[in-house]
């Protein structure tokens, strides 16, 4: 089966500054792919290109079979996205949020209703369906946001630091959801600053100064860097920047 | 040095802090460990004299945070989450600004911030808004120290900053202890608890435990194992299915399995997993870490 993400010397420059420097990699279907790098390494810019939010300066990328430069709207339809900052509308209820995002993704009314029931049951929040999201604990909101990102059954979901600041129990419950989604064939690209989460990924890439400096399974990466854990690998690779 | 007595705070129907009490000794690095929503920022704003408690009281050096706020403010260095720097001023200008607000100059207390400042000095003409997370963190720390405070209050200084910079930051904090500064720091990162002299575990506005990191860990009473197999997802499910399992959670490469009793040990766990078709099975007993304790305390 063809790769869900394929990039070929993908590059983004802002004036004289090269934020993403000719990155080339592939992500396979059903993979949990960890996209790591220090702040300022170019992760967010790379992610924005892959999700069709900004145009590459040079090079190519295709996501879910569509070229990000020529068909960004097609890309957007086939992906899910979730981050700390871009989440749910706090002043809408749980149900209203699901209906809203279902509508944006072009789902039919009947579909949305059916999926809402399933989603609420799965997360065990049916009693809170008509409560404002603002009133839910952060951990619940994270799980709900993730489920909403999957509503239109995208082939790949991008998760931008999805568990930042969340309590350790909820963090793990969240990863249970990620594993489940992967088991059902969804491809997941996750950025995180929690190095233990890097271990949950099938493969991991580490960006430094706009380039991908390492890409492998956590196991093999640790072996080649002579490290006990991913934290050590990261520290050996990542450098300080201004 | 710092005495917090029965502090509670609500925002409308939401109770952010419930009857929080603790003491911090002079020169300690005291950590408040807890996730988002635990109440850390509310607590620190109260101690930094920026927010009134709903009930209860707190004193720093015998000065009351409410009554004596003016005197306290010149003794405190506060670094809030998101760092509170002027984005359109340069590194140097930010530092000069904060120094002047406290009626001092960069030169006067330069010795204190020197080790940190030299790392960002090459960029002193760069606007703060153009700095990376790690650099902003260092600058914000310098600005909080510029008036030689007796107490540093740092609210999630590492959040949003990469692991390398976070570690360097904690190295800097340890060196500040040598200047006799008492440091109160909050973090959602459980592994940072081990870097503090004592910690309070905070969840849902209430303190679950206060002790040295060692003391917290020693309080963990269940048998605990690190377990690995070829399929993490199935591993956790199969282990959770055991009656004898008190809890099983992913911890990076390994799952941590806690048991209700010690009637099972390694060979029993290994046999069970092999019988379930797991490959590459590894099982060994481990000592609990702060995160294991936090999870245990969180469960109803």
Residue B52: pLDDT over 70? yes
Q: What does the pLDDT read at residue A49? A: 94
Shortest alpha-carbon distance between residue B228 and chain A (Å): 12
Contact between chains at A196 and B161 (C-beta distance less than 8 A): no
Residue A221: pLDDT over 90? yes
CATH 3.30.70.2070 in chain B is located at: 221-298
- A interface mutation test: which of B253, B255, B258, B300 has the most A CBs within 10 A? B253
Instruction: Map residue B110 onto helix, strand or coil.
Output: helix
Q: Give, to the nearest 10 degrees, the angle between helix B163-177 and helix B133-145.
A: 20
Residue A222's H or E segment, with its range, is helix A218-225
CB within 8 Å of A65: residues ≥ 6 apart: A2, A78
Scanning A79-138 for CB atoms below 8 A from B yields: 137-138
Q: Which of A50, A41, A5 shows the shortest CA–CA distance to A20? A: A41
Contact between chains at B190 and A168 (C-beta distance less than 8 A): yes
CB-closest option in A38, A175, A229 to B162: A38
More confident residue, B13 or A54: A54
The answer, yes or no, to whether ipTM is higher than 0.85 is no
Mean pLDDT of B265-289: 95
What is the C-alpha to C-alpha distance for residues A147 and A186, in angstroms, rounded to an integer? 12
H runs (alpha helix) in B28-109? 40-47, 69-73, 91-101
Q: Per residue in A93-105, pLDDT tens?
A: 999 999 999 998 8
More confident residue, B148 or B81: B148
CATH 3.40.50.300 in chain B is located at: 2-217
Q: What does the pLDDT read at residue A195? A: 83
Q: Which of A46, A22, A21, A23 shows the shortest CA–CA distance to A189? A: A46
pTM: 0.80
Q: What does the pLDDT read at residue A193? A: 78
Residue A89: pLDDT over 50? yes
Q: Per residue in A25-60, pLDDT tens?
A: 999 999 999 999 877 788 889 999 999 989 999 999
Q: Does the structural domain B2-217 have CATH classification 3.40.630.10? A: no
Residues of chain B found within 8 Å of residue A196, distances taken between Cβ atoms? 250-252
Fold designation for B221-298 = Alpha-Beta Plaits (3.30.70)
Q: Per residue in B140-168, pLDDT tens?
A: 999 999 999 999 999 988 877 777 788 88
Instruction: Map residue A233 onto helix, strand or coil.
Output: helix
pLDDT averaged over every residue in chain A: 89
> What residues are paired with B76 via a beta bridge?
B151
How large is the greatest C-alpha to C-alpha distance in chain A, in angstroms?
54
Q: Tokens 């220090």 correspond to what residue?
A: A38
- B interface mutation test: which of A84, A132, A141, A242 has the most B CBs within 10 A? A242
Q: Per residue in B182-222, pLDDT tens?
A: 999 998 888 889 899 999 999 989 999 999 999 999 999 99
């Amino acid at each position: 089966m063809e790769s869900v993400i394929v990039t070929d010397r993908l590059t983004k420059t802002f004036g004289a500054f090269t934020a993403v420097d000719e990155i080339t990699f592939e992500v396979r279907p059903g993979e949990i792919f960890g996209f790591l790098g220090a702040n300022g390494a170019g992760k967010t810019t790379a992610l924005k290109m892959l999700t069709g939010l900004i145009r590459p300066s040079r090079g190519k990328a295709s996501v879910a079979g569509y070229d990000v430069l020529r068909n960004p709207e097609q890309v957007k339809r086939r992906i899910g996205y979730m981050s700390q900052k871009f989440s749910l509308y706090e002043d809408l209820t749980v149900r209203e949020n699901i209906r809203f995002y279902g509508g944006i993704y072009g789902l039919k009314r009947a579909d949305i209703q059916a999926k809402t029931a399933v989603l609420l049951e799965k997360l065990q929040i049916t009693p809170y369906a008509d409560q404002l999201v603002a009133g839910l604990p952060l951990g619940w909101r994270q799980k709900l946001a993730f489920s909403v990102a999957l509503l239109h059954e995208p082939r790949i979901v991008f998760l931008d630091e999805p568990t930042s600041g969340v309590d350790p129990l909820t963090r793990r419950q969240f990863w249970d959801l990620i594993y489940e989604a992967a088991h059902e064939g969804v491809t997941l690209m996750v950025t995180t600053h929690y190095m233990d989460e890097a271990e949950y990924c099938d493969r991991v890439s580490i960006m430094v100064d706009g380039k991908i400096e390492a890409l492998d399974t956590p196991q093999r990466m640790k072996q080649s860097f002579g490290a006990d854990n991913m934290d050590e690998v990261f520290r050996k690779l990542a450098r300080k920047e201004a | 040095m710092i005495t917090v007595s029965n502090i509670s705070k609500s925002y409308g129907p939401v109770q952010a802090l419930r009857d929080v009490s603790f003491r911090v000794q002079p020169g300690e690095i005291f950590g408040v460990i807890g996730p988002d929503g635990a109440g850390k920022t509310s607590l620190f704003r109260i101690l930094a004299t920026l927010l009134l408690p709903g009930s209860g009281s707190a004193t720093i050096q015998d000065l009351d945070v409410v009554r004596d706020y003016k005197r306290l403010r010149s003794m405190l260095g506060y670094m809030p989450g998101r760092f509170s720097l002027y984005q359109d001023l340069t590194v140097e200008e930010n530092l000069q600004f904060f120094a002047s607000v406290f009626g001092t100059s960069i030169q006067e207390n330069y010795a204190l911030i020197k080790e940190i400042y030299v790392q960002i000095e090459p960029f002193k003409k760069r606007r703060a808004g153009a700095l990376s997370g790690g650099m902003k963190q260092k600058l914000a720390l310098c600005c909080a120290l510029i008036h030689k405070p007796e107490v540093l209050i740092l609210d999630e200084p590492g959040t949003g900053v990469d692991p390398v910079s976070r570690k360097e930051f904690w190295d800097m904090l340890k060196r500040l202890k040598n200047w006799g500064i008492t440091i109160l720091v909050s973090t959602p990162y459980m592994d940072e608890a081990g870097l503090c002299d004592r910690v309070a575990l905070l969840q849902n506005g209430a303190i679950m435990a206060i002790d040295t990191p060692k003391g917290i860990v020693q309080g963990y009473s269940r048998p605990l194992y690190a377990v690995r197999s070829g399929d993490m997802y199935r591993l956790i499910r199969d282990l959770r299915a055991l009656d004898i399992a008190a809890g099983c959670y992913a911890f990076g490469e390994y799952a941590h399995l806690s048991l209700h009793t010690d009637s099972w040990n390694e060979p029993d766990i290994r046999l069970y997993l092999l019988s379930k078709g797991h490959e590459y099975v590894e099982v060994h007993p481990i000592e609990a870490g702060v995160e294991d304790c936090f999870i245990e305390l969180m469960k109803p």
